[in-house]
Structure 1
């Protein structure tokens, strides 16, 4: 149940919600969102990319995404044709502008855990799947 207006006007301590698999094919545990605290402009969550896992190509229309790597090494293909690549290591920050296609994956033997902040207070509403790009990066 969404918080009332009065409840939104106070600070909140929130435990990560139960993990779930998002449309993108990865595991998420939402902390701050419209549903948990009534936020109107931000979503904060943990994402886990298991060893050998690959997400699905997607983008977030109209919303910025900031990622901070906690543990493990993840990689991401990004850009209009997923032709750009980054390796995200613990302590790295990674920024994804609104509407930029991306596909995260983990080809290591250890899980990668990242903190994700997005300017969309709902977790999955701005996710636009891009199945036509799922096979675009040839190297994974």
Structure 2
């Protein structure tokens, strides 16, 4: 009999991560922990690879809170604060928190790949691609 106290732990090997998730241009998202992979009901976790000298498209993650741990490289996280574009320059060991619905993008201006580990408060990898960081206003 399986109950809350007697469920098995699940081991996901890094070499078995799947790219069968929503993608944003300039990035490759790999899914590790999700409703699809382990039956998770509240958490999504995986990693994202951003190639050198590239950036993601502008996007948000819906109602999900997102926590990011920088594993490799020096990615830059860009978001809008009113009319101002803010750039958070990061390195290995840094953490970034992205609140729900906040438009942002990841950039990798360097010459080495960037790899980040992502955890979200949703069982699936929600990605809503946007035309800009200011989706409600024309910034052209």
Please say whether Structure 1 and Structure 2 have the same fold, judged by a TM-score greater than 0.5: yes
Q: In 2 relative to 1, CA 14–127 (structure 1 residues): closer, same or farther, beyond 3 Å?
A: same
Unaligned runs of 5+ in 2: none
Q: 1:87 to 1:20 in 2, by over 3 A?
A: farther
Alignment of 1:56-95 (within 5 A): 56-79=57-80, 83-95=85-97
Change (3 A) 1:20 1:49: farther
Number of residue pairs matched by the alignment: 129
Q: Which runs of 5+ in 1 are unaligned?
A: none
Residue in structure 2 matched with residue 53 of structure 1 by the alignment:
54
The structural deviation recorded for 1:72 is: 0.5
The residue aligned with 2:106 is: 104
The answer (yes or no) to whether the contact 2:28–2:48 under 8 Å persists in 1 is yes
**Deviation digits for residues 5-40 of structure 1 (CA, Å, limit 9, x no counterpart):** 88x932100124234684312112111011000001
Q: Cα RMSD over matched residues?
A: 2.5
Pair 1:14 & 2:12 matched: yes
TM (normalized to structure 2)? 0.81
Contact in 2 for aligned 1:39/1:121 (Cα 8 Å): yes
Q: Distance in 2 between matches of 1:43 and 1:93?
A: 17
Distance in 2 of aligned mates of 1:55 and 1:94: 16
State the structure with more CA Rg. Answer: 2
Whole-Å separation in 1 of the counterparts to 2:87 and 2:106: 10
Moved segments of 4+, more than 4 Å: none
TM-score if structure 1 supplies the norm length?
Answer: 0.81
